[in-house]
Amino acid sequence: MLYTLLITGVLLFLVWLLLRHLDKSYFLLAGAKRIQTIDGSPLESKVAVLPGNSIFGNNLDVLNMTPSRLFRFTRDAYAKSKGRNYVWYFLWAPMLNVTRAEDVEEIFQSTKLITKNVVYELLKPFLGEGLLISTDQKWHFRRKLLTPAFHFNVLQNFLEIFKEESLKLVQRLEQSLHIDLPLSHVIPQFTLNNVCETALGIKLDDMAEGDKYREAIHALESVMVERVCNPLLYFQPYFYFKGSYEKHVKHLKIAHDFSSHIIERKRQQFKAGAPAVDECGRKQRYAMLDTLLAAEAAGQIDHQGICDEVNTFMFEGYDTTSTCLTFTLLMLALHGNVQQRCVQELHESLAAADMELSVFDYNQLEYLECVIKESLRLFPPVPFLGRQCTEQSIVNGLILPKNAQINIHVFDIMRDPRHFPNPSSFEPERFLPQNTVERHPFAFVPFSAGQRNCIGQKFAILEMKVLLVAVLRNFKLLPVTRLEDIIMEYGIVLRSQQSVQLRLERRV
């Protein structure tokens, strides 16, 4: 009996020693390998290590959170870290959360840290291996292929589309004077019409499937948000039985059928060598799809690759631009002095009518661009970016194990008081040339930075300028929604829980 107890005691002691040794390299109860420091100093001396709500690391912290609670949870984490980068431990992998411009620079400039993290896997059924998600050689080739589609000369063609859609929006807004207008009823349609005609070369309003497609996009996003807010739904079997799987499949088919139908129609025109014309017999403008079809004819891309890129550009260019425009219009309504300065700039810089303005004319609107940038700083449509270590990596003095996740918190980086004093204040003057000279180059990154920066950022800025010029020339914006009433939500994009509203008066 004594011998048995002695052996048991020795075995337990050896197991304890083994676990203690393993605990130096692994967070055992979280199921993740630990992040180490190059110089061997405690991790807490480099970053904040935020404890979870249970002994299992941070695995249960976000379970069943709503989008608004997820936003608040992330803001609380930043507050607890006191402006430092911080670490979470989740199942199978640690997560480094980067909130400082100085530290994100190394990540953005890395030639190895270009693989997106696990959150982007939720988008794969919809976007496939498009430019947003693909990596390595496929990403490099597609990026090189599509870059000419955003050349200055092509933007000139896009400009005509933006102006036509802005004119239609102004005519619609004329019917909504002196009432509380929810911007969600008008802005998303404007941006989706723009992106469809520029990416696909078709007018969405001219097609019966247009409304169904818009509904499908919204439904797919709602499912994505549901999965982001419940880590268990990342796992396909659980999503199949407990998530909105049938809704996901139904609307995924609608979205894919829509884009495939348009691609096939354009492909037949391309093969026939006939000039593409619309329903009224007018020659169609150049679209990004033309570049992809030429690459298909040269054997450089297949049908699925074209679908992936078209769906990616539509998704990235539709909701993100809509979000930015919504918050920019809100801030103009709330800050009458800023709105008046923009109107004064329009009077001084633009003599021609809207339909006669060139890209050069819009580029002269320096203060309006400052307003857009300040809105992007306060309300970045993409509030965080993700990377994954495909091998053990050294980042800012830290040793990140293979499969470690990196979250780049764009929202927090652009509200750092060291780079933006009074960070919650709306001050477009921050972006006047004389005020940006000494600012850290990675302090303002709404379009990401480095190799994987947004290919369509000039497209987006021009699109927003065209709409804002049209609106400000015709209407005075008055506030209805107040900032203190807004409940922010984290999803695929940053959004408000309630629809942002304002009032319009005809500008005299």
Binding residues for heme: 454
Cβ neighbors of 443 (< 8 A, separation 6 or more) are 101, 413, 414, 416, 419, 420
Q: Which residues are annotated as a binding site?
A: 454
Task: Give the number of other CB atoms < 10 A from CB of residue 367.
Answer: 18
Backbone CA torsion sign across 413, 416, 420, 423: positive
- CA count, 13 A, side-chain hemisphere, 52: 20
CA angle 54, 56, 58 (to 5 degrees): 75
Q: Residue 492: what are its φ and ψ, rounded to 5°? A: -65, -35
DSSP 19-40: HHHHHTTEETTTTEEPPEETT-
Query: What span, in angstroms and rounded, lies between the C-alpha atoms of 35 and 96?
Result: 9
CA angle 466, 471, 476 (to 5 degrees): 150
| Closest alpha carbon to 313 in 490, 146, 108 | 146
| Contact by Cβ (8 Å): 162, 456 | no
Backbone CA torsion sign across 475, 479, 483, 488: negative
Residue 353 buriedness (CB in 10 A; 0-12 / 13-18 / 19+): exposed
Query: What span, in angstroms and rounded, lies between the C-alpha atoms of 379 and 294?
Result: 38
Mapped onto helix, strand or coil, the DSSP state of residue 473 is: helix
Q: Which two tokens stand for residue 273?
A: 């060598």
Q: Kindly state the DSSP code that residue 123 receives in the 8-state scheme.
A: G
Cβ neighbors of 437 (< 8 A, separation 6 or more) are none
